[in-house]
Each structure stands twice: as C-alpha cells, then as structure tokens.
Amino acid sequence: MTDSKHHRTDTRPGVSRRSFAQAGAGVAGVGLLGSLLAACTKVSTPSDNKDSGNSDSKTLNVLSSSYGNVIPWTTQGYASQKYWANQFNVNLTQLDPGGDPGKQLSQIQDAAAKKWDLVVLNGIIQGNLSTAAQKFIDAGTPVISYLSDVALETKPVDGLLTTIEADHYQMGFDMTTKLCNALKGKGKGKIIETQGIAGGSNVIDRHRGFADAVKAFPDIEVFASDYGNFTTDKSQALWQSYVTKYPVIDGAFCQNEDMAFGAFNALKAANRQDKTLLTGVDGTVRGCQAVLNGQLFATVRHAASQIYAWPVIVGAMHVRKLVGEIPSKVIVNSPIVDKTNADSVIFLQGANVDLL
C-alpha cells in the first residue's frame, strides 16, 4: 500500500530520515546515539559558564507540551524526554494540560512571556497551537512539532524546524491488515475500531490506515468506529454498549493500548474475553506483556522514548549548530509487536536502556 503523503524521499542534505529512524534500534542505533551524545555534551571545567558563548557547553532552556500525564504512554514519554534532556545539557520545562486542548493553548500562551532556546510541541488537536507556534518562530525561537502535526495542512506554520512522528497511517494499515488476515483464516470478520481524541492528525491518519486496510477484505464488517479519547474508562464504557448490542465481535483495532484494555475489561465482564482478537498501539511494557499472555493479539510499538526524546536531541543539535538541514519530517519506526518479538521490545524500554 503506497500513500504519497507518507512515503516520499527527502534528498535534502543534513540528517537523513534513515539515520534517525535507525537510532535506538540495535547495535548500530546505540552507536549513532552515542555519537550524537558525544557531539552535544561537553565535560565542564571550572572556567566553563552556563551563559558563556560556547554553544556546546551552554545549558539550553527548552519548553515542551503534550497531552500530559492523563495518558500512561505520555507519562513514559515525558520521563524519557526528561532523561535525555539531562544527557544533552538541557533545562526542560514540561507543561501538563491534562489532555485539555484549551488548557494546553493557555499554558503555551503564558509560557510565551519567557525566553526559550527551543520549543517542542505536540498539539492535542491539530491546528490548535499553530498561531502560538508561529509567534515563537517569528520571535526567533526554533520550534519542533512531535507526535502529530501541529499545523493544519491548509495552514502550515512557516519556518517550523521539523515534525518528529511515527507514520500513523502505516501503523493503522499494518495493524489492521494483520488483524484481518488472522480473522480471514478463522472464517470470521466482524470488527470494531476505537479511535483516540477527535481532531488529532495521529488519530485521523490511524483511522485512514484502518479504513484502507479493511477495503482489501470484503468479508470484514465494521460494526462501529467511535472515539475513546485514548482512555481506558471511556473505551470500557463504549465496549460495554458494544457487548450488549453485538452478540459476536471477532476483532478490534484500538488506537492505543489503554483503550484496548478498556475493551478487554468489558469483554471479560461478559465472559467473552476469549472471543475477540484485540489489537492496540503503543507497545508499552504492560501492552507487550498482554500480548505474551494472550489478552492482546498484537500491538504496535509507538516508541514514546523516541517520539519525546528526539525533538529535544535534534533541537539541541540544531541550536548548537551540530547538524545540517533537517528533513521536514523525521519518521520514527513503529514495528508490529506479537509473541515473536514482545520480549525484546520490553527489554529495550528498560530504565537503563531506554532506546525503544
């Protein structure tokens, strides 16, 4: 399946997509990340000063905003972002809007009164932070968007340094294709999609991938596609209604694991947890363990450690003039996780590893 929006070759000089996409994946990734770390950090001497003109040693003040700790996956991302900020001599301020787009915008507007060396933004709703991002850029502050597109396609932010995100379309397409192939082999085909928060480009693109994948399976019937807001409670309420309404549900694509667990809870309460193949996104330790114990059929590793850390790392390299031109999008790999590789994905999220 080819999608021109998500599959294009960027031939501009500087750091390639391939370089960043490989970081954190295997021995080569560890070597690359080590090289970047060595380039961006400097052993201090008594004569060093945080505010000296030496761009390698100066502590950078960086502002970051995302969903907040209302979503466990984001909590993992925030922790990893903070960890790597410390490695790269970055003083990081993380805003927590609690998943509220209005509060997020208000927090960003308040923070604009201060001077920042770099701003990294994940807009909860696409376009909601476009004007704020543009003001930072116009004032001379580099801005990186991450996780999802900060700007609307019809109204881009002029001068945005880059967007660092997974290929959400491919994520939805690949996971749904795997699910449908498994159901096809069992002669089953009644499925449900549970989406995240309406309005985010990541949610929109995962749904497009889901919808396009289903087209290749004419025997698959989609019963429902509703918004679970990326939370277990909301998804569980939806799925309680599904369990009452539909005597048979063969499979589901949930746009994150928290919602997949909500679905599992509803199914278990009806003693139907073994009747539905549940899939998710995030590939957290809990999610991978659920794959291994059979609660989930499969998931996708949406690497919070990379999605959240790379904007800080790449931005610090840019501010310190250690990298050339950066592609307009830096794509983070998102492998499918099943019983064959779940153990390795768990290992790579370890506190002393933090590479995937």
Q: Give the span between the Cα atoms of 206 and 283, in whole angstroms.
A: 15
Q: Give the span between the Cα atoms of 6 and 167, in whole angstroms.
A: 7
Whose CA is closest to 342, among 297, 311, 312, 309?
297
**DSSP-based three-state secondary structure for 233:** helix
**Each residue's pLDDT tens digit in the chain (356 positions)?**
334 344 333 322 333 333 333 333 332 233 345 445 454 444 332 333 344 344 566 999 999 999 999 999 999 999 999 999 999 999 999 999 999 999 999 999 999 999 999 999 999 999 999 999 999 999 999 999 999 999 999 999 999 999 999 999 999 999 999 999 999 988 889 999 999 999 999 999 999 999 999 999 999 999 999 999 999 999 999 999 999 999 999 999 999 999 999 999 999 999 999 999 999 999 999 999 999 999 999 999 999 999 999 999 999 999 999 999 999 999 999 999 999 999 999 999 887 677 77
DSSP 294: T
Q: What is the pTM of this model?
A: 0.84
CATH architecture, domain 17-166+303-333? 3-Layer(aba) Sandwich (3.40)
**169-281 shares the fold of 17-166+303-333:** yes
Give 75: exposed, middle or buried? Use CB within 10 Å, 0-12, 13-18, 19+. middle
Q: Domain residues of the chain, as ranges? A: 17-166+303-333, 169-281
C-beta of residue 21 within 8 angstroms of C-beta of residue 15: no
Question: Could you tell me the end-to-end alpha-carbon distance of the chain, in angstroms, rounded to an integer?
Answer: 26
CATH architecture, domain 169-281? 3-Layer(aba) Sandwich (3.40)
C-beta of residue 167 within 8 angstroms of C-beta of residue 6: yes
Residue 110 is which amino acid?
A: D
